[in-house]
Structure 1
């Protein structure tokens, strides 16, 4: 039983009328860093004019993040306004569902994400990476934007694994429409007042058209797959397995549920991996000594061949590079919850009904766990260094019972892709600083261009 006796949370200083609204709007990640630096590991942050003011409690320590996501996860639910907007746009899939809905979905989907099953996707990932590596040979002036290209690579890879041969149609629709859905969710999720979605405002009409396009492509492919008459087990793509997923206890997914899972897999399955890969390449391009070590490991272990799932353990330095990229640029920089009952985190009282955030962006830079935190150093993730830190000093995949089901898939794709690209290219950074902002996921506000030099012409 959680105790409710604690001190009042220190409050981040803001403007008299607007609180921290402008700071959060202009630079939410920097504002959360400043809150921890100036006030400690649990901070009360208020934003908005009187009468419409919203308050959130920022929890920034590893121990606090573990309490929110794992130890008291039942008390910290996805009931806030932001998750409701995500739910309205992407459906009640694994990302947003709760209680028995979530438990049923997780039971049905879990067999599709076993290590053995996921390892079987390595060849499909390698096919997409090979295509991109060949395209890079025709890059204008030998320069590419690695963030942009990793977003497309990750989307094509997850679409191939999800849909099989129906890749191009799905990728075109998703690339065109996902950014608009994300902007709509973000705008409504952080607005103190919203008009109903069915009011015919210009913004609502545009959003409805975007949603229809996404729903139609998913529904079409799902309907085709259901009518194909394939015997159970014949389909190798993830959608076929979702269609076949069934148990005596949980039944199976209906058409709407399938669409919701597909949309969540497309969103979560490509943006997280794209962020990790893109920033890993950007950071290596900025750091020649670390890049040299990664090249040497790839050359020694693979000797020119295409990596597979069995090579992950043999590429520890490449893996450490990716983990360090995820520390500095976590794809989910802020994770929101709402407290059901009053509790205490780090000696500070959190009232019932309070909105709470944990922030990998902040905890991954916490001086108690990370010396010289802004420095790129993959050796922070040697086994000895990891064992010496609290479990939730690094949590790019969330944690607790709601931890990302696709962790192994993301790491498999990232290691294979990074190793294959390092086999073929040396990189030098053109853009040394890439500004970022927090949206549904971490978003770059500028390019991350790299100059390529082929290593194996």
Structure 2
């Protein structure tokens, strides 16, 4: 509940350096800084960063109970009004990830029927086909080594593009491959910068980002225009964009061309980076833990035999699902979630003032020793039947939660489990890069390759 500022005790602050506070620590290792903050000061910590006059104050909430309060029980008091979300909005549009209030509710109502379990299960064939093509391409890998981060990024992008665009997938994959890295780095630089030059100024960074956005928008606008035309004729496809173009209701109307582009861009951003992260680190962790890998493969072979996996197999592969969930615990694709408080609010006995930047960190909560004994250990049994019921609901929240929970979480789980099944049946993995440095971007980023030595499985 919202309370007066005096209701709770003052939030403890993380020690920083004179003038800059924790700016350098956050810049060099934000995830490590958040972990140290919790270890030193508890579940609600204030971190200051930047010089006087440009200083930011971040109120970090690390407990599962606090995460539930921010995302679910008091979600109306914590909005996506911070500078980082505004930068995403300015580049990728006002889609489901960034919209708020009635805009968000209208979009959600129009999109929700396209993400029912039955509808999403229909995408299984496209996922399996793209995974089989990826696996086939490894036959000529040099020295039997692949970078699973690059491979899974390409796989997830091809899968979501095929589902979104159907026959236009190849064109969009090339454009997204070329343009997304430029745009996402631009968003990150501006999101974390205390001083932002106007986007219209002809700086090298602005010009590179503008060119990438122009190319990305152009291909999306062309395909959107074609799909809107096809939706009004008999020459329609069954790809997701066509279904979005047809989505309408008496109360909410339909998406116009600009709104369709916004949804497409957000689906591309959220639909491939997150799944790629989960798949890459599941393979990385299995490559470091041969016993768990063997158990997962045995389950796949026993359930599937030689046939391709299907949507119905998701419930028949419980251990593989546990592996994926444990990978998502240790390497959540969204390691940090930001909000801004509307009113002063008491969280875990501390008062967060109105208008504060609030940080949730799945990266930290997923390693909280109160919920996860020996938290750095890879142990899929943490997600065995019954084990999840013993933990607070928000001890694990890779898809966010509350009314803004990810609409595509069933699709992500379906895609990831089926892709892992195809991959593990074909290849065994041994991690070459046993330690993988990571950082918080729009999604979890790796600071180098995630290489695995692969060996074809026979028999």
Category of TM-score, reference length = shorter chain: over 0.9
The equivalent position to 1:325 in structure 2, one of 311, 327, 332, is 327
1:453 aligns with 2:455: yes
Distance in 2, matches of 1:393 and 1:39, equals: 19
In 2, Cα distance between the equivalents of 1:351 and 1:236?
A: 48
Confirm whether residue 103 of structure 1 aligns to residue 105 of structure 2: yes
- Corresponding residue to 1:436 among 435, 438, 443: 438
Given that 1:59 and 1:359 are in contact with CA atoms closer than 8 Å, whether structure 2 keeps it comes out as yes
Decide which moves more: 20-29 or 197-206.
197-206
User: Is 1:88–2:90 an aligned residue pair?
Assistant: yes
Spell out, residue by residue over 1:390-441, the C-alpha distance to the aligned partner (whole angstroms, 9 max, x if none).
0000000000000000000000000000000001011111110111000000
Equivalent position of 2:251 in the other structure: 249
1:261-276 aligned within 5 A: 261-276=263-278
Residue pair 1:331, 1:441 contacting (<8 A) in 2 also: yes
Counterparts of 1:160-309 in structure 2, within 5 Å, are: 160-228=162-230, 231=233, 234-309=236-311
Q: Separation in 2 of the partners of 1:383 and 1:185?
A: 40
The 3-state SS of whatever aligns with 1:336 is: strand
**For residues 172 and 237 of structure 2, what CA distance do their matches in structure 1 show?**
18
Q: 1: distance between equivalents of 2:306 and 2:451?
A: 26
Whole-Å Cα distance in 1 between the matches of residues 216 and 421 of structure 2? 33
Query: What secondary structure is seen at the aligned counterpart in 2 of 1:443?
Result: strand
* Corresponding residue for residue 2 of structure 1: 2
Decide which of 98, 116, 119 is 1:117's aligned counterpart. Answer: 119
Residue pair 2:231, 2:246 contacting (<8 A) in 1 also: no
CA contact (8 A) 1:24 1:31 kept: yes
3-state SS of the aligned residue for 1:426? strand
Give the secondary structure class of the aligned counterpart of 1:164: helix
Which residue of the other structure, out of 374, 379, 382, is the alignment partner of 1:380? 382
Q: CA deviation at 1:230?
A: 6.0
Q: Where do 5+ consecutive residues of structure 2 fail to align?
A: none
Question: Are 1:368 and 2:370 counterparts?
Answer: yes
Query: Contact 2:2 / 2:343 at 8 angstroms: preserved in 1?
Result: no
TM-score (norm 2): 0.98
Q: Output the CA distance in 1 between the equivalents of 2:299 and 2:132.
A: 20
| Structure 1: runs of 5 or more not aligned | none
Contact 1:233 1:241 in 2 (8 A): no
Secondary structure in 2 matching 1:185: helix
Counterparts of 1:238 and 1:167 in 2: how far apart (Å)? 12
Shift of 1:234: 4.5
Does residue 345 in structure 1 map to residue 347 in structure 2? yes
Q: Counterparts of 1:106 and 1:215 in 2: how far apart (Å)?
A: 22
Q: Any idea what SS the aligned residue of 2:282 has?
A: helix
Cα deviation digits, residues 102-124 of structure 1 (max 9, x gap): 00000000000000000000001
Q: Report the TM-score, using the length of structure 1 for normalisation.
A: 0.99
Counterpart residue number, 1:28: 30
In the other structure, the counterpart of 1:410 is 412
Cα distance, 1:62 vs. partner?
Answer: 0.1
Consecutive aligned runs of 4 or more in structure 1 exceeding 6 Å deviation: none
Cα distance in 2 between the residues matched to 1:300 and 1:230: 47
8 Å CA contact 1:232, 1:244 repeated in 2: no
Asked if 1 retains the 8 angstrom alpha-carbon contact of 2:230 and 2:236, the reply is no
Aligned length: 457
